[in-house]
Structure 1
Amino acid sequence: MSTSVNGVGSGIDIDSIVTALVTAQKTPKQDQIDTAKTTATTTLSAVSSLKSALSTFQTAMTDLNEAKSFAGLTATSSNSDNLTATVGTGAAAGTYSIKTTQLATSSKVATQYITSGTTFSAGTLTLTQGSSALGTIKVAANASLSTIRDSINTQLKSSGVTANIITDSTGQRLVISSSTTGASTDISVAASSGLESLAIDGSAETGSVATATKGGYVTAPTQDAEYTIDGLSMTSSTNDVSGAISGVDFTLVAASDTATTLTVDTNTDGLTTSINSFVSAYNTLMSSIDSLTSVTSSTDDDGNATTTGAALTSDSSVRNIVNSLRNALVGSSTNGGTISLLSQLGVSTQTDGTLKVDDDKLETALEANASSVEGFFTGTGGLITRMSASLDIYTQDNGLLDQRVDSLNDTLSDLATQQTTLDTRMTKYEATMMAKYNAMDTLVAQLNATSTSVMTTLNALNKTSSDS
């Protein structure tokens, strides 16, 4: 504020008068800006909270929207150190005795010993796996063993083939490994002239440890897995077995003299957990929405009843979101077989909009229709997909909520501009008023001085006249 020496000529408190005038001019617009800013800031925070709650719900739905979350059956191994298993489509309840006598192995081969520091002539190395060609490696003149190793790793990495160098007191050996398992998948290397020391016969044993005069397999040639299911002999080129038991995938982990029991049974506990997780995620979202839209009743100092709405009370977007979710809940699922409605699983909507699980009804429903639960919840026509999809228009990048956030930020930016304009205008108005009142005060001081001078002259004249 401008300063002045108050009322030197008039005795008036100019600062107080100017302050009152500025306040009277500024208050209406300031109140308007403050109210709009508070509303925009509160709404922005609420919209951001809403988007966060919706995103959290969709993440939970994504985690649940997998066949394993709602699989009607589950596979249990009596010894996971020997065998593990998962259930897929088409499985049926049953018990199986599986005994693994040998695991499928992959090829690991090595060259003969190579003297450290050896360089090689220009040529080619042709690698094959079983009867299939892997590729040809070009070797430049004076290439080192490490250079050849790097070339193999670069060119054949997509084939699951890797190379390394093993060194001991006798020398170096190039070792080549494959991730492919099964009989007749041994790696062999044919070498051109000048590179004979790098040739490998993958079906033959390497030379003795002491001399290693030829390249060949390390430990043993490749083999298929051999196992039995309830006494029936089976083989597999991999240790991950699919199709041997309808709808069940299992992995042979270790060979054993003892059979492992694989049990495929109703996944009651897993289904119950997943359904309750779904209900919990939905209820958490509804609670968050309720806190953003609730109306609070109270009593003022005079005893009158008042109500206060939350930031998104009566907000149309929130109503549309809730309606979309509720429509998905009561709608029919197209993949659920005998289960088409959530109520068939003992899940009902309460008066506050949240869901409640009737444990007894759920248990009964799972006993009769466990196989239909997966299709009801998951997949293209499943409940989870439909519910999450109904929110995409709001939560996606540049979706409705992002657009609203942008609009509110624009509003706050405009209000900041209005505040700056108002402050500038009031500063000028204050300076103008202060100048006017100071000028008035100066004029009054001058008039008072003139008045005093005139009165002094008149008094002197009167005194002179009286003396005569």
Structure 2
Amino acid sequence: MASISSLGIGSGLDLNGLLDQLKEAEEEKLVPIIEQQETQKAKISAYGQLQSALSAFQDSADALNDSALYESLSTNVGGEAITATADAEAQPGSYNVSVETLATRGTLASDGVATADEAITTDPQKLTLNFAGSPSQEVDIAADSSLEDIRDAINANEDAGVNATIVNDGTDFRLALSSRETGAAASIESFSFDGTAPFSADTDNTLQSGTDAALNVNGIAITSSTNQVEGAIQGVTLNLQEEGESTVKIEQDTLAVREAVTSFVDAYNDLKGTMGELTSFDAETGAAGELLGDSAIRTVESRMRSVLSGGVEGEFSMLSDIGISLKTDGTLEIDSDELDNAIANNQDALSAFFVGSSDETGMAGQVNTMVEQLLSANGTVTGAITGAENSIESLGERYTRMEQSIDQTISRYRTQFGQLDGIIAQMNQTSSYLNQQFDALDAQLGRD
């Protein structure tokens, strides 16, 4: 049988086209597998959305599961004289604060010298800095130092107690010193050299003594070396801004608690909305959510409903006791007046409701435990994701096997078509030969 190098050459038939059609028909067997893979991928993405919404709800529950939230205090300041912050040791109360003077830094300048960058010392020596109520400090001055070098030596010394700059008074250059700390005790008073002094302190004209802050809190006189006053009011730091009158009110931070409760409700409603989208169905278009009818999401909904409709021990035992109700559509709704009343008048009971006696006994703790179980390695959501991933892997293997089977089938068709092409070609050759012989015979008979 003759060898056919290209299908159809021998027979004149479009065998390659026919083979392509057969291949396309065979590859239709792959379409359902691809569609199932896409379905599983869509489910994994949907489970990811569910995980994110559950984690956000868990975070909101964690915030409510902290007893410190219900003990936090806010600081309200009236007037411009001060600002204030409170820590955990502060106690509720109201205070009148009168700032009489602010704490200031002492300053002192030297006599003038002609230049700032030429040497004014010969030998190395020590510069002694004297303060009103603090120990004196010594600064090493190198030989052949200029005014700029002396300035730099002072600023490089962490214990010098002053900052140094150079001021030009229009005629000469002066070394200007400013105490690094405010208050009378830290005030610079004078300085001296232990060798030949390149200049002296101008105490008559430039000395300005540092002062302590003076204030009055509810009639009690207080002095402070700094403008940041701690301890005048227990657990409160007063930052003095200017002379004048201010009021400070330390009270329970009801806003922080309300924001935490509102975030809890919002996070649950967002979770409920996410689950609604993932299980939706449009009767007109036939479009369905990726998790419509999914057992995992039904389990999540059931567990959520069970925890939120359950109770805890205490004065407040149900969400409805603090103004949070479960609506017919499954979302939560806040009665602002009832919640504000609970926050303003009974934060201890509110803390007991959400926190409980341990991390898991209050409402927030129960929610946190439930979400942890759902998202754990062996939990419902994680298990569903693992199942979808395994399905994709199995479908991938099935796709590969089907693809190999199709390749084998097409290869078999190609071989059979090649054989057919060869047979038809041979038959065409035989037919042509016989026609030639008949024509020759006819011609011979005609001559006879």
Q: TM-score, normalised by structure 1?
A: 0.66
Q: Report deviation, 1:96.
A: 3.0
The whole-number CA distance in structure 1 between the counterparts of 2:268 and 2:76 is 30
Structure 1's 24 and 355: CA in aligned 2 closer, same or farther, altered over 3 A? Answer: same
1:252 and 2:240 matched: yes
1:116 and 2:93 matched: no
The whole-number CA distance in structure 1 between the counterparts of 2:373 and 2:48 is 15
Structure 1's 62 and 268: CA in aligned 2 closer, same or farther, altered over 3 A? Answer: closer
Aligned equivalent of 2:428 = 448
Aligned equivalent of 1:76 = 76
Q: Report deviation, 1:127.
A: 7.1
1:173 to 175, 182, 186: 175
Q: Secondary structure at the match of 2:342?
A: helix
The whole-number CA distance in structure 2 between the counterparts of 1:116 and 1:291 is 77
Q: How does 1:81-230 map to 2 (within 5 A)?
A: 81-89=80-88, 94-106=93-105, 113=112, 115-119=115-119, 122=124, 156=158, 163=163, 165-168=165-168, 169=170, 170-173=172-175, 175-178=177-180, 180-186=181-187, 193=194, 206=203, 208=205, 219-223=208-212, 225-230=213-218
Structure 1's 40 and 65: CA in aligned 2 closer, same or farther, altered over 3 A? Answer: same
1:32 and 2:33 matched: yes
Structure 1's 444 and 124: CA in aligned 2 closer, same or farther, altered over 3 A? Answer: farther
The whole-number CA distance in structure 2 between the counterparts of 1:196 and 1:376 is 75
Aligned equivalent of 2:269 = 283
Structure 1's 35 and 274: CA in aligned 2 closer, same or farther, altered over 3 A? Answer: closer
1:364 to 341, 361, 367: 341
Deviations 1:321-361 (A, max 9, x none): 9958985996869xxx9768755422244455533212232
Amino acid at match of 1:288: T
Amino acid at match of 1:46: A
- Identity across matched positions, percent: 26
State the superposition RMSD in angstroms: 5.6
Deviations 1:266-286 (A, max 9, x none): 655665455324422443344
Aligned equivalent of 1:303 = none
User: Given that residues 87 and 236 in structure 2 are in contact (C-alpha distance below 8 angstroms), is that contact kept between their aligned partners in structure 1?
Assistant: yes
The whole-number CA distance in structure 2 between the counterparts of 1:152 and 1:62 is 53
The whole-number CA distance in structure 2 between the counterparts of 1:136 and 1:25 is 96
The whole-number CA distance in structure 2 between the counterparts of 1:231 and 1:417 is 85
Deviations 1:305-336 (A, max 9, x none): x7844259747599569958985996869xxx
Structure 1's 436 and 62: CA in aligned 2 closer, same or farther, altered over 3 A? Answer: same
User: Given that residues 70 and 274 in structure 1 are in contact (C-alpha distance below 8 angstroms), is that contact kept between their aligned partners in structure 2?
Assistant: no
User: Given that residues 46 and 312 in structure 1 are in contact (C-alpha distance below 8 angstroms), is that contact kept between their aligned partners in structure 2?
Assistant: no
Structure 1's 236 and 164: CA in aligned 2 closer, same or farther, altered over 3 A? Answer: closer
User: Given that residues 118 and 144 in structure 1 are in contact (C-alpha distance below 8 angstroms), is that contact kept between their aligned partners in structure 2?
Assistant: yes
Aligned equivalent of 1:10 = 11
The whole-number CA distance in structure 1 between the counterparts of 2:7 and 2:269 is 66
1:298 and 2:283 matched: yes
Q: Secondary structure at the match of 1:298?
A: coil
Aligned equivalent of 1:345 = 322
Structure 1's 366 and 145: CA in aligned 2 closer, same or farther, altered over 3 A? Answer: same
Normalized per residue, the structure richer in strand is: 1
Aligned equivalent of 2:223 = 235
Q: Report deviation, 1:247.
A: 5.1
* Residue range with higher mean Cα deviation, 440-449 or 403-412: 403-412
2:290 to 290, 306, 310: 310
Q: Report deviation, 1:101.
A: 0.8
| Consecutive unaligned residues in structure 2, runs of 5 or more | none
The whole-number CA distance in structure 2 between the counterparts of 1:143 and 1:395 is 71
The whole-number CA distance in structure 1 between the counterparts of 2:396 and 2:251 is 65
Amino acid at match of 2:17: S
User: Given that residues 112 and 207 in structure 1 are in contact (C-alpha distance below 8 angstroms), is that contact kept between their aligned partners in structure 2?
Assistant: no
Q: Secondary structure at the match of 2:165?
A: strand
Q: TM-score, normalised by structure 2?
A: 0.68
Deviations 1:204-263 (A, max 9, x none): x84535xxxxxxx6x43141x22222322223344334443345444332112xx33334
Q: Max radius of gyration: which structure?
A: 2
Q: Report deviation, 1:117.
A: 0.4
Amino acid at match of 1:173: L
Q: Secondary structure at the match of 2:341?
A: helix
Amino acid at match of 1:208: N
Q: Report deviation, 1:455.
A: 3.1
The whole-number CA distance in structure 1 between the counterparts of 2:82 and 2:68 is 19
Q: Report deviation, 1:365.
A: 1.7
Q: Secondary structure at the match of 1:296?
A: coil
Q: Report deviation, 1:82.
A: 1.3
Q: Secondary structure at the match of 2:283?
A: strand
| Consecutive unaligned residues in structure 1, runs of 5 or more | 210-216, 301-305
User: Given that residues 116 and 146 in structure 2 are in contact (C-alpha distance below 8 angstroms), is that contact kept between their aligned partners in structure 1?
Assistant: no
Amino acid at match of 2:173: G
* Residue range with higher mean Cα deviation, 417-426 or 232-241: 417-426
